[in-house]
Amino acid sequence: MEKNLEDTKEEFKRTGVENLEIEKSRFGISIRTLLYATIFGTLGGIISSVIPFDLLIKVWYPLTGGTQLASAHHIIWVAIFYGLTRNKPGILISMFTKGILEFLITGSYGIIIIGINLLEGASLLVGFFIMEHLNEGDSKLGWGIAGGIGNITQVPVFWYISGKLFTLHISLFILAMIFAFLSGVFIAGLLGKVIKNYLIKAGVPIAAQAIFTVKTNEITNLDKS
């Protein structure tokens, strides 16, 4: 009788929100991180494709390259994602998701838009990597520079595809690069950091690495005060 009961015992699998951080997907990252990467990538893909942010700039700055002042709205979603998870490979997954949606919704640049999104994601990843090694990974300066680096690399690609790189004066190209970097600093970097902090305060679950960073910063701030 006892033997039969032991044979019929079922192993129950732990579930719930907390387990999302423990369970690993086939990509080697937690299920929660993978969900966040998909969610923020989807948000970025839909909003970037549907809302014409460029028109906001053209109203008061109609010259070539001015639209780069709003271009960092493409990567702010991934910056927020990284702030919540501290997962660098997830940046590429999120940007890949965003690129697929932009390709399906607009299709203006064809399948190459997926590669451009991956380039922006890789640039943002490098930006955060550099800033963290300089101990500025969670400061406003670090986020700003990382956002600038993440946004500036798409300018040469778009100018090459459109032919502007060969027809317009080099000064306009340099100006577009400056605008793109500033957009990355203020929109993806500083604004992204503010939104990330509000999400954390609102109780959005974050990854263990991000929790460690937040707690460390709180201790540091207490020591300074």
Q: What is the pLDDT along the chain (225 residues), one digit of tens a residue?
A: 544 544 544 444 444 444 445 455 555 678 888 999 999 999 999 998 888 877 777 777 777 878 899 899 999 999 999 999 999 999 999 999 999 999 998 877 889 999 999 999 999 999 999 999 999 988 999 999 999 999 999 999 999 998 998 999 999 999 999 999 999 999 999 999 999 999 999 988 776 455 444 444 544 444 444
- The reply to whether 213 falls in a domain is yes
Give the pLDDT confidence score for residue 58 in this predicted structure. 75
Tokens matching residue 122: 């890789």
- The reply to whether 15 falls in a domain is no
3-state secondary structure 166-225: HHCCHHHHHHHHHHHHHHHHHHHHHHHHHHHHHHHHCCCCCCHHHHHHHHHHHHHHHHHC
- The reply to whether 60 falls in a domain is yes
Query: At residue 219, what are phi and psi to the nearest 5 degrees?
Result: -65, -40
- The reply to whether 30 falls in a domain is yes
Q: Look up the pTM and report it.
A: 0.79
What is the residue range of 124's domain?
A: 21-224
- The reply to whether 105 falls in a domain is yes
* Total domains, the chain: 1
Give the pLDDT confidence score for residue 36 in this predicted structure. 92
Q: Is 149 helix (H, G, I), strand (E, B) or coil?
A: helix
> What CATH number corresponds to the domain at position 61?
1.10.1760
- The reply to whether 9 falls in a domain is no
Q: How far apart are CA 210 and CA 192, in angstroms?
A: 15
- The reply to whether 10 falls in a domain is no
Which ranges in the chain belong to alpha helices (H)?
A: 2-7, 31-50, 53-58, 76-85, 88-105, 112-133, 140-152, 154-162, 164-167, 170-183, 192-201, 208-224
- The reply to whether 192 falls in a domain is yes
Q: How far apart are CA 31 and CA 36, in angstroms?
A: 9
> Tokens 């701030």 appear where?
221
